[in-house]
């Protein structure tokens, strides 16, 4: 385990039931709302996996784990990433909220003993997606946007759900297009989101 994460490992007792362990970890570290959101995303990812032909347990695991780095507030994320030797982009230094997707990866590995590369990779890009995304990357990305972590109805949900009637890629594209159309108003547009948008826009246009 990375020494930086050792104090966090003492905040919960793992039982081997990931859903229970993530809930215990997030609750013990002051993030009960994120715990509820994470379980909802896990269940949504499981549904999408069944619908689109992927292992539902792998999808649920990615969902449960994706936001475990919520235990680090935005103001501590740059420092945490540096301690964990995570490379940061300029956009992430400007808007540290986005760093949480990268932070969750080593935390899933070291604190929850997850070594499934597909799960870790999906967790790492769940906020922005990226180019050459895997099916699990897209399942988790879409699940997180359906079971979003804010009040009310997501403003992009109708477009995303009608995209889902065509394919997972159309659903992911609907959310990325929502960001792209508002890029002037956003603090930053993450380069992974831009690359994912351009790739899916050209793939979906040819279908
Ligand atoms: Fe997130
Ligand atoms: Fe999330």
Domains defined along the chain, listed by start:
3-148 (1.10.3210.10)
CB < 8 Å & 24+ apart, contacts of 70-78: 70/26, 70/31, 70/34, 70/100, 71/8, 71/25, 71/26, 71/29, 71/30, 71/31, 72/100, 72/103, 77/103
| Block residue for tokens 């549904």 | 47
Side-chain-side CA neighbours of 81 within 13 Å: the count stands at: 21
> Which ligand has the nearest atom to the CA of 38?
2
**Any idea what DSSP says for residue 114?**
-
With a CB cutoff of 8 Å and minimum separation 6, the contacts of 125 are 101, 133, 137, 141, 192
- 155: CA distance to ligand 2 center in Å? 16
Q: With contact defined as beta carbons under 8 Å apart, do 11 and 29 qualify?
A: yes
Residue 186 dihedral angles phi and psi, to the nearest 5°: -75, 150
| Token pair belonging to 192 | 């992974």
With a CB cutoff of 8 Å and minimum separation 6, the contacts of 42 are 19, 59, 60, 61, 62, 63, 64, 143
- 206: CA distance to ligand 2 center in Å? 30
> Which ligand has the nearest atom to the CA of 123?
1
Tens-level pLDDT at each residue, the chain (207 residues): 999 999 999 999 999 999 999 999 999 999 999 999 999 999 999 999 999 999 999 999 999 999 999 999 999 999 999 999 999 999 999 999 999 999 999 999 999 999 999 999 999 999 999 999 999 999 999 999 999 988 899 999 999 999 999 999 999 999 999 999 999 999 999 999 999 999 999 989 877
The length of the chain, given as a count of residues: 207
- 151: CA distance to ligand 2 center in Å? 13
- 201: CA distance to ligand 1 center in Å? 23
- pTM of the predicted model as reported, rounded to 2 decimal places: 0.97
- The total of other beta-carbon atoms located within 10 Å of residue 130's CB is 19
> Which ligand has the nearest atom to the CA of 149?
2
């Amino acid at each position: 385990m990375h020494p930086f994460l050792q104090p966090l490992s003492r905040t919960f007792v793992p039982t081997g039931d990931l859903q229970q362990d993530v809930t215990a970890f997030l609750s013990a570290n002051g993030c009960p709302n994120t715990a509820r959101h994470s379980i909802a995303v896990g269940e949504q990812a499981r549904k999408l996996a069944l619908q689109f032909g992927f292992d539902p347990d792998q999808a649920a695991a990615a969902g449960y784990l994706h936001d475990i780095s919520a235990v680090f507030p935005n103001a501590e994320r740059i420092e945490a990433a540096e301690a964990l030797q995570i490379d940061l982009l300029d956009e992430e230094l400007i808007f540290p909220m986005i760093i949480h997707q990268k932070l969750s990866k080593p935390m899933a590995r070291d604190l929850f003993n997850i070594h499934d590369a597909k799960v870790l990779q999906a967790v790492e890009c769940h906020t922005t997606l990226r180019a050459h995304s895997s099916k699990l990357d897209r399942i988790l990305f879409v699940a997180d946007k359906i079971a979003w972590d804010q009040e009310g109805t997501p403003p992009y949900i109708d477009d995303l759900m009608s995209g889902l009637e065509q394919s997972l890629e159309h659903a992911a594209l609907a959310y990325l297009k929502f960001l792209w159309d508002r890029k002037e108003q956003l603090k930053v547009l993450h380069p992974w989101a831009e690359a994912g948008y351009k790739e899916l826009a050209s793939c979906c246009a040819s279908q």
